[in-house]
Amino acid sequence: MTVYLTRRERFNAAHKLWVNEWNEEENRAVFGKCSNKNWHGHNYILFVTVKGTPDPKTGFVMDVKKLSNLIREHIIDKLDHSNLNLDVDFIPKEIQPTTENLAILIWQQLQPLITECKLHSIKLHETENIFAEYFGD
Active site residues: 34, 81, 126
Please list every residue from 10 through 39 that binds its own copies, using CB under 8 A: 10, 12-15, 17, 19, 30-34, 36, 38-39
What character string, x for contact with its own copies (CB under 8 A) and - otherwise, covers 44-83?
Answer: ----------x--xxxxx-xxx--x-----------xxxx
Pick from 131, 106, 125: nearest CA to 46: 125
Q: Return the SS3 of 63.
A: coil
* Binds its own copies (CB under 8 A): choice among 28, 74, 76, 104: 104
- The whole-angstrom separation of Cα 18 and Cα 111 is 28
Three-state SS for 76?
A: helix
Residues 82, 41: Cα–Cα separation, whole Å: 10
Is residue 132 part of the contact set for its own copies (CB under 8 A)? yes
Cα–Cα dist 13/19, whole Å: 19
Positions touching its own copies (CB under 8 A) are 1-10, 12-15, 17, 19, 30-34, 36, 38-43, 54, 57-61, 63-65, 68, 80-83, 86-87, 95-101, 103-104, 127-135, 137
